[in-house]
Amino acid sequence: MPVTHYKVTLMYDGTHFAGYQVQPHQRTVQGVVEQALAKMAKVEQRIPINGSGRTDAGVHAYGQVISFDFPFFIAAEGMRKALNSLLPLDTQVLACEVVPSDFHARFDATGKRYRYRVNLDYYTNPFRRLYTGHWKWPMQPELIEAAIGDFVGTHDFTSFAAAGGSIENKVRTIYDAKVTVDQTQNELIFDFYGNGFLYNMVRIMVGVLLEIGGNRRPLHDIQRLYQVKDRRQARLTAAASGLYLMQVYYGDGPADLK
């Protein structure tokens, strides 16, 4: 059977990766997956994969999606098991499908869901420093609850995107944004669903919300930040360790709920 096209859903602990995208002399998610595929196919060159988007060093994923051509046919369940046996333990294939050859993990994505976890302990928790951001000052979650709705809708996110990107259109739509207080873990959990996210956008949004909850910024400062289109006024970028790419949607998720 000829070249086969796969869609694969990956979970990874981002701690020991220099990010998703291949870089020389660095351990990356794309790198370990492409190596595992080459080993399976018994070829010298890497087998290139397309990811739904990059994640930075230290950023985690519960549902990153990749797509790729493989030189011969393996049933989806066999591909899942073979990949898992070849991948390192901090990377796990959760699902695998054979898909039409025109499916593309990035271009076909219609929405994404991100989560951001913030530990509120007064000290650096040894078990969570790699899996949460950290806010050790006074916090009023009800202020964040009152403000976070300002992110919902279609807005120009220039103030919330790292400068220097090549993307000119900074307008994105957020379908849902919410914060949950996890009393047991002493954590704030932020969830954002949208049609697309600019570079560092979730981490900058969280930085602004934390300053609102910490009473360092007016309640509806987000509205002002849309107007000023100035990334410096958004100030903080929350740590990579708290960010999780939860799910990528392909015409089957919140992105359809417009």
Q: State yes or no: is 90 an active-site residue.
A: no
| Upper half-sphere CA count for residue 194 (Cβ side, 13 Å) | 23
The reply to whether 114 sits in an annotated binding site is yes
Which of residues 35 and 185 has its CB atom nearest to its own copies in the complex? 185
**Binding string to its own copies for residues 111 to 130, with x set by CB under 8 A, is what?**
------------xxxxx-x-
**For residues 214 and 137, is the Cβ–Cβ distance under 8 A?**
yes
Write the DSSP string, 36-93: HHHHHHT-SS----EESS---TT-EEEEEEEEEEESS---HHHHHHHHHHHS-TTEEE
- The DSSP H or E segment spanning 100 is none
Residue 145 found at the interface with its own copies (CB under 8 A): no
Question: Distance (Å, rounded) from C-alpha 178 to C-alpha 171?
Answer: 20
Residue 131 found at the interface with its own copies (CB under 8 A): yes
Residue 183 found at the interface with its own copies (CB under 8 A): no
Residue 176 found at the interface with its own copies (CB under 8 A): no
Q: What is the total count of residues that contact its own copies (CB under 8 A)? A: 17
**Binding string to its own copies for residues 41 to 70, with x set by CB under 8 A, is what?**
-------------------x----------
Residue of 223, 175, 247 whose CA lies nearest to 11 = 247
Residue 1 found at the interface with its own copies (CB under 8 A): no
Positions annotated as catalytic residues are: 56
- Site of interaction with its own copies (CB under 8 A): 11-13, 60, 84, 89-92, 94, 123-127, 129, 131
Which residues are documented as binding site for substrate? 114
